[in-house]
Structure 1
Amino acid sequence: MAGTGICCASLEEPIALMKMGLSMVLIGHVNFLLGALVHGVVLRHINLHKQARAMEYAISNVVALTSGLVGIVVGILAIVLSKNKKSKGLTWSLFTVSLTAALMAAASAIGLSVITNECPFDPTRIYSTTLILWVPLIVTCVIQMVFSARCFAVCISFLGLPCCPNRKRTRPYGRAINVVRPLKGSRPISQY
Structure 2
Amino acid sequence: MCRLDTLDSSGTQKLLMKTGLILIVIGHLNFITGALVHGTVLRHVANPPDAISLQYAIANIILVTSAILTISCGIAAIVLSRYLSRKPLKWAVFSLSISSTLLSLACSVGLAVSIALTFANNGRSLLAMCAFTDVELIQLSHECPFDPTRVYSSTLSLWTMSLILDCVEIIFSIRCFLLTLALLNLRLCHRRTRKKKVTLQVVPPETQEATECHSLLRRDRAETVWL
Question: Which secondary structure does the structure 2 equivalent of 1:53 belong to?
Answer: helix
Among 160, 167, 173, the residue aligned to 1:135 = 160
Counterpart CA distance in 2 for 1:88 and 1:172 is: 29
Asked whether the 8 Å contact 1:32–1:68 carries over to 2, the reply is yes
Paired residue type of 2:183: F
Q: Assess, with a 3 A threshold, how the Cα gap between structure 1 residues 85 and 164 changes in structure 2: closer, same or farther.
A: farther
> Residue 173 of structure 2 corresponds to which residue in structure 1?
148
CA apart distance, 1:157? 1.2
Q: Which residue of 1 aligns with 2:140?
A: none
Whichever residue aligns with residue 58 of structure 1, its letter is A
For 1:132 and 1:89, how far apart are their aligned partners in 2?
40
Match of 1:74 in 2: 73
Any idea what SS the aligned residue of 1:86 has?
coil
Of 121, 130, 144 in structure 1, the residue corresponding to residue 126 of structure 2 is 121
Task: Give deviations 1:86-129, integer Å, cap 9, x for gaps.
Answer: 11101000010110011111111111012211231225632111
- What's the Cα RMSD here? 2.4
Distance (whole Å) between structure 2 residues aligned to residue 27 and residue 49 of structure 1: 30
Alpha-carbon distance between aligned partners in 2 of 1:21 and 1:47, rounded to the nearest angstrom:
34
Letter in 2 for 1:112: L
Contact 1:12–1:154 under 8 Å retained in 2: no
Say if 2:91 is the partner of 1:92. Answer: yes
| Distance change (3 Å), C-alpha of 1:157 and 1:17 | same
The alpha carbon displacement at 1:12 in A equals 5.3
Q: What's the TM-score, normalizing by structure 1? A: 0.76
Contact 2:63–2:107 under 8 Å retained in 1: yes
1:1-192 matches, cutoff 5 A: 13-114=12-113, 115-116=116-117, 117-118=120-121, 119=123, 120-122=125-127, 123=135, 125-164=150-189
Give the Cα separation in 1 of the matches to 2:193 and 2:11.
24
Q: Which amino acid aligns with 2:181?
A: I
Moved over 4 A (4+): 9-12, 171-174
Report the count of equivalent residues: 161
1:108·1:141 contact (CA, 8 Å) conserved in 2?
yes
Contact 1:157/1:164 (<8 A) preserved: no
User: Residues of 2 paired with 1:52 and 1:148: CA distance?
Assistant: 31
CA shift for structure 1 position 13: 1.9
Q: CA deviation digits over 1:109-156, x for unaligned, max 9?
A: 111012211231225632111012111111111101111111111111
**Normalization by structure 2: what TM-score?**
0.65
Q: In 1, Cα distance between the equivalents of 2:65 and 2:34?
A: 9
State, as a whole percentage, how many aligned pairs show the same letter. Answer: 38
Stretches of structure 1 that go unaligned for 5 or more consecutive residues are 1-8, 166-170, 175-192
| 2:179 aligned counterpart, secondary structure | helix
Structure 1 counterpart of 2:110, which letter? G
1:12 to 1:89, Cα distance in 2 relative to 1, 3 A? farther
